[in-house]
Amino acid sequence: MRGWPPGTAGKNTPILEASHDDGGWFFGLFDDHRLAGVAVLGSRLVGKRPRMLQLEFLHVSSPYRHQGLGKPLFNLAVAEARRRGAKWMYISATPSEHTIGFYLRLGCQVMLEPDPDLFELEPEDIRLEYDLDANSVVASVAQDAVSGQCPETT
C-alpha cells in the first residue's frame, strides 16, 4: 500500500500479525489485485467503557483517498464490532487534521478522559470513541453491506 510514513510498516506489521493470531477482524478492499484499503478490528476489550473494541487499523492507499473508500471501511468495522457484541469502538488516531476531521465527520468523538493504559500505548495519538448504540442506523446499513445486500452506506 502507498502512503505510509517511513517506519510505519515496520512498526505496524508485528502488531497486525499479533492481532490476526488473536482473532482480530481484517477486511481488505482490492482494485484488481492491488490492495486499496484495509480495516482491522481488534478482538480484545479495551478501555473502561463497557464492551469496547479497538479499530486497530484503517488505511486507504494514497491514490485511492477522497473517493469514498474510508467511510465504508469504517462502517464495515462498526458492523463487525456490533456483530461481536460491542457497545463502543475505540480509535487511537494519527494526530493529523485530515484524519481527525475524517473521524469526526463519521460521528466519532474525542475522548475527554482517555484510559491511562491506552494513553501509554500511543501517547502522540488523539483518542476517539464511537458509540455503537447512538449510531445504530449507520451500523445497520453497514451490516447489510457486509451481508452483500446493499453496498451503499450512509
- In the complex, the residues that contact ligand COA under the rule CB under 6 A are 3, 58-60, 65-71, 93-94, 98-99, 101-102, 105
CA 137 to CA 44: how far, in whole Å?
24
CB of 108 to ligand COA, least distance (A): 10
CA 2 to CA 45: how far, in whole Å?
30
CA 139 to CA 144: how far, in whole Å?
9
CB nearer to ligand COA: pick between 43 and 99: 99
CB of 19 to ligand COA, least distance (A): 14
CB nearer to ligand COA: pick between 2 and 85: 2
CB of 3 to ligand COA, least distance (A): 6
